[in-house]
Structure 1
């Protein structure tokens, strides 16, 4: 059964849903009928051996809002929770993707964030990825749901799992609302670039680190893109190069990922997907495709082809298999020949 928090989140999602279809690969299905889809899914679930093809083709080709309506129609028609019914008959990675598709985006991101801090060690790159690429509204929803779902705050888990500069950066990303100011202040751009140079790569004490992180976590992306350009004129190398030279290990990876996400979000996700595909990190591959399919996956596909010379579709087709491959390809949309 869906939790009360999940039901509340579903209602809020339906009320606030604004699809970003310009660069989406999953778009509103035409002539949509939630009752008809619920009936088709029940037949697929009840079929001998389960009809995975119907489940994949339906859920991967409906928007999240449409999936929530299907789940409601299924509950009303059959008195059962659709996620639980699918959980009972599916297995492996196909089950993981399917159940993820049926969660609202906020709930999906909340569990994804929790997973970065589960078990031994922290997946700092995925932690920073999630926190740095969500909007202020999305971040607020995640932090609210996190406390309800896991009986602790995001900050509690970060403080427990991370230490040192990585902890400071992650806490700042979790707590700070990024500026949404679109008007550029060139005096402030110059000041911030100098802070990153004088108290950033050359930072010597905690106060410099705090200033460094405050800029990266709190300024608007548009502002920071200009700051990074100004930084290059100050020291004749790109900010990412300085970070790679002056920081190490998990801290370096976190900073570099954050800066790349700010500079060009689709290109950043193209790189993250390539790392997931080549490194067989199926959870990261799953998470990114589900979370970006209604946002900017088309733009990510373009960047992937540009950067790696092959299409994202063909890379997934080559490196994955079975029903997991089929559902990922459905979310990807099509090949970029």
Structure 2
């Protein structure tokens, strides 16, 4: 197997071009390109090359399935995918998940995770975040709720915290985070890190970082993976 050729062709094309190549491969040779990659490659190189051949929604569904149904639940994968996707991307992801695995994504999240981490993932997986709407008059009120949630940490406050972070528009949350800074004298990420722990804390921080700048969030994840 000429790995250099695979790298040159598959990494220098966009997703739609790779899908066209796969279709031409099937027409010319009567074989499925993904199946051939799986059978002739191994380890992480196989994972990367095969991953490049999926449409985005199908790849998200593939990763979530393995994160939920593998030997151990891969919480960080669930966080990376669900904290960063738009409503449309989540809708397409759920459709792909149902089509590929004949399972409902939200039901699998419900059965394979627990606690407030589960509740927050379930909220994100609904794909019902408000879009393009911001109300400056309620930003301070939302910020006060977040501050109280970081201080009191009851189950009710945790629910209110995740409801705001999962359902308010990005534009609204930008204002809420600034009001939080004004009220508490502290950045919302620092407050979450001080008040919570575990995968619930990691998920909340991921949501905040993705609201602020998704490319920077994934740059941060890559840096930590490399170093």
Question: TM (normalized to structure 2)?
Answer: 0.93
Deviation digits for residues 42-91 of structure 1 (CA, Å, limit 9, x no counterpart): xxxxxxxx221111100110111111111111111111111122222222
Instruction: Report what 1:192 is aligned to.
Output: 142
Structure 1: stretches of 5+ with no match in the other structure: 1-49, 279-337
Deviates more, 1:95-104 or 1:256-265: 256-265
Question: TM (normalized to structure 1)?
Answer: 0.64
**1:77 aligns to 2:28 (yes or no):** yes
Instruction: Report what 1:332 is aligned to.
Output: none
Question: Larger % of helix: which?
Answer: 2
> CA–CA distance in 2 between the matches of 1:254 and 1:61?
32
Compute the displacement of 1:254 (Å).
1.7
Compute the displacement of 1:264 (Å).
2.0
Q: Is the 8 A contact 2:153 2:195 kept in 1?
A: no
Q: Is the 8 A contact 1:125 1:257 kept in 2?
A: no
Distance 1:123 1:104, change over 3 A: same
2:88 aligned residue (137, 158, 165): 137
> CA–CA distance in 1 between the matches of 2:72 and 2:184?
35
Larger radius of gyration: 1
CA RMSD of aligned residues (A): 1.7
Deviation digits for residues 206-230 of structure 1 (CA, Å, limit 9, x no counterpart): 4333222111001111211211111
Q: Which has the higher contact order (CA 8 A, sep 6+)?
A: 1
**1:107 aligns to 2:70 (yes or no):** no
Q: Secondary structure at the match of 2:132?
A: coil
Instruction: Report what 1:126 is aligned to.
Output: 77
Instruction: Report what 1:64 is aligned to.
Output: 15
Q: Is the 8 A contact 2:86 2:127 kept in 1?
A: no
> CA–CA distance in 1 between the matches of 2:80 and 2:112?
16
> CA–CA distance in 1 between the matches of 2:151 and 2:174?
21
Q: Secondary structure at the match of 2:68?
A: coil
Deviation digits for residues 140-179 of structure 1 (CA, Å, limit 9, x no counterpart): 0111111222232121221122111111111111114211
Q: Is the 8 A contact 1:189 1:223 kept in 2?
A: yes
**1:53 aligns to 2:4 (yes or no):** yes
1:168 aligned residue (119, 126, 134): 119
Structure 2: stretches of 5+ with no match in the other structure: none
Instruction: Report what 2:156 is aligned to.
Output: 207
> CA–CA distance in 1 between the matches of 2:24 and 2:127?
39
> CA–CA distance in 1 between the matches of 2:33 and 2:92?
23
1:238 aligned residue (187, 212, 219): 187
Q: Is the 8 A contact 1:224 1:262 kept in 2?
A: yes
> When the two structures are aligned, how many residues end up with a matched partner?
227
